[in-house]
Amino acid sequence: MAGMDGQNGNIQDVYDRMEIIGDARRALLERKRFNVKTQIFIANALVFVLALGVAVVLIANIYRIQRRMEFLEFANEFSIEIQQARRYEKNFFLYRTNLEDALENIHAAQAVFIANAEPFASILGRTQQQSVLRQLETYTDLLEELQEIQRKAPTRLFDAAFMGDIENRLRQNGKDMVTMAQGLMGKEKAALTRALQRSIAIHMLSLVALLVVLVINAYLLVGRIVTMLTRFSAYAQRIAAGDFTPITPRRRYRDEFTELAIAINEMIKELANREAALIQTHKMRAIGTLTAGVAHELNNPMNNIMLTAHMLMEENATLSAQERLEMLTDVADETSRAKHIVANLLDFARESAATIQTLELEKLLRDTIRLAENQVRMSGNKIELQVTDHLPAIHGDGQKLQQVFLNLILNAVDASPKGSKIQVIALPYDKAPDHVAIKVVDYGHGIPRHVLSSIFDPFFTTKAKGHGTGLGLSVSQGIVAKHGGKIVVSSEEGSGSIFTVVLPVTTFPKTIHTF
Amino acid sequence: MSDALEILLLDDEPIVGKRLKPALAKIGCNVEVFQDPIAAVDRIEKKSFDIVVTDIRMDEMDGMQVLERVQARSPRTKVIMITGYAMIALAREAMEKGAFDFIAKPFKPDDLRKVIAKAAEALGSSVDFSAVNENT
């Protein structure tokens, strides 16, 4: 679409706008879907998996600690039995007593060891297990041998050489076993400490990991939602300002916000249609006002034609060729005059597509004044135009701007007492560069201070019921805003008002393609 | 036929005077044509016309003001107002203020002649339509 959005009541424009909204909708929908809901679900699933992993590792560790503790208990028991056996063994060699007790302890140690042979093998290896088993057997065998001797040949117990040999072997063996058992206990204690430390480390690390995951998750989720909320509040402000460009995709995926965007685009369509209808309604009212003036003004050429034609008929026989020609020329001239009177209004009334073009302000204002001239004359006032030389051209929709100026001039006519003048002045705007100001000045009754701030509000009117819709200035302000300009008013009660339309000189209107 | 009726015709459209002057002359009226109301009012001050025909809407001075001036200067003068389409209310107002009649644009020369004949009658005079009827 070449024109601006939302300004035109033209059918073609409405279709264009619908097409643009349709395109935006398609573009919004053709992306892959990635809902906020999905993101929340994925993030929660991720946290759950992390927690599950941590729990599994911790449970495995606790299980290992438990095994270590059981093994430590076994090692302790084993060590106690061995040490007890050795104490009795010493007693035997000193006092020849307690051999039975030593045997009992060593059997107990053997039983404990066999009961825990498997965990022992898994921790210290099969070879070590076999070697301990052999040592136990050797020790037991030696003790049993002593028992046998005690029973059958107690005298040999006093054979120093023989006993010394057994004692040495027993002592060596016992010592090895005690060393082994204590070493085993030491090892197990160290392993247990390590496992406990690992457990603490896992707890700490998993907490840190969870924190990191949660922070990243919150950052992503909050970032996503806040970005979209910020964006939509900007959209709302833009739409409120009258920019009815639809929302187009800015992300690679679509989600719940896409549905919101589509709904807003639908709303934009409705708003644009309504605004267009409003502008059109207001224009039709202006045309209605102008029509009365045109009808009045048409009576002059029509009267001239009628009088001339009748005189031609009456005097046909007596008129000279010269007189006849003069009268016929009058008829032709007056007919063109009538045509021009109507043509201006027809030009203005014609619905044309909104087109943005370079506008020569002077011509535009002159055409507008011509349009309003009948009204000005009927009200017994004068209108004059002053345009600063070499005023830069502006860009815009000529018809819409004409509607704005016409509205201001007709308002000025309504405000002016009979016999006063209305001035239209175009000049560079003094408060901002690259802007022009078009002032419509009247010397009428002015606007009371307390209503000055509401005159641009829709439906605000000071005119009698049935004489004004209160839409003129609101619609005009809307049109000028779309051109990147504004209307400002200054008024003094009793001495008149100045409405200043400020327009940028080189604005190119926004179109759908720039968004 | 009595004395010729003295008529002042005021309309800012030149063609109106140009065509109506001979049209009214045919029924025996002396017509003075003006386009400028100021000049016309000046003339009214100097000469008492039987009938003044004036357009209501003019730039410098409107028909209502002319009516007031005529009434002040010469109460017996019949004032006929020419109105445009949207001026009927104004024409009524003129009638209330003492205008003799009004005629709405666009009108035929005969329409004005008939109103003038009525005014002549009211003045105790009459107009002669024979010249007109001969030709039509």
Which fold would CATH assign to domain A68-197? de novo design (two linked rop proteins) (1.20.1440)
Tens digits of per-residue pLDDT, B103-118? 988 999 999 999 999 9
Residue A224: Cβ within 10 Å count: 16
Does the model's ipTM exceed the 0.90 cut?
yes
DSSP letter assigned to residue B13: S
Report residue B86's pLDDT band, with 50, 70 and 90 as the boundaries. Answer: low
Domains of chain B: 5-126 (3.40.50.2300)
With CA atoms as reference, the chain B residue closest to A330 would be: B15
The A residues from 316 to 345 touching B (CB cutoff 8 Å) are: 316-318, 327, 330, 334
> Is B37 in contact with B20 (CB distance < 8 Å)?
no
Q: Which amino acid is at B24?
A: L
Query: Rounded CA gap, A338 and A340, in Å?
Result: 5
DSSP result, A380-445: T-EEEEEE-TTPPPEEE-HHHHHHHHHHHHHHHHHHSPTT-EEEEEEEE-SSSTTEEEEEEEE-SS
Query: Rounded CA gap, A149 and A292, in Å?
Result: 150
Query: Rounded CA gap, A208 and A344, in Å?
Result: 79
Question: For helices A160-240 and A126-152, what crossing angle results, to 10°?
Answer: 150
Chain B positions with Cβ closer than 8 Å to A: 13, 15-16, 18-20, 22-23, 26, 57, 59, 62, 84-87, 104-110, 132, 135-136
With CA atoms as reference, the chain B residue closest to A375 would be: B86
pLDDT surpassing 50 at residue B135: no
Strand order in the sheet with B101-104: B29-34, B5-10, B51-55, B78-83, B101-104
- For the segment B84-102, the average pLDDT, to the nearest whole number, is 81
CATH class of A271-514: alpha beta
> Is A176 in contact with A135 (CB distance < 8 Å)?
yes
> Is A242 in contact with A478 (CB distance < 8 Å)?
yes
List the pLDDT tens digit at each of the 515 positions of chain A: 333 443 444 556 667 778 888 888 888 888 898 999 999 999 999 999 999 999 999 999 899 889 888 888 888 888 888 888 888 888 888 888 888 888 888 888 888 888 888 888 887 788 888 888 888 888 888 888 888 888 888 777 777 787 888 888 888 888 888 888 888 888 888 888 988 898 899 889 989 998 999 999 999 999 999 999 999 999 998 888 778 888 888 888 999 999 999 999 999 888 888 888 888 888 888 888 888 788 888 889 999 999 999 999 998 889 999 999 999 999 999 999 999 888 888 888 877 667 778 888 899 999 999 888 888 888 888 999 999 988 888 888 888 899 999 999 998 998 888 888 999 999 999 888 889 999 999 998 888 888 888 888 777 777 766 666 677 888 888 888 888 889 999 988 888 999 999 998 864 544 433 32
Query: Rounded CA gap, A41 and A47, in Å?
Result: 10
Domain parsing of chain A, residue ranges? 68-197, 271-514
DSSP result, B60-117: SS-HHHHHHHHHHH-TT-EEEEEE-GGGHHHHHHHHHTT--EEEESS--HHHHHHHHH
Which pLDDT value is given to residue A326?
Answer: 94
pLDDT surpassing 80 at residue B87: no
Which pLDDT value is given to residue B85?
Answer: 61
Closest-CA distance of chain A to residue B136, Å: 6
Q: Which of A292, A296, A306 sits opposite B108 (nearest CB)?
A: A306
List of chain B residues whose C-beta atoms are within 8 Å of the C-beta of residue A300: 13, 84, 105
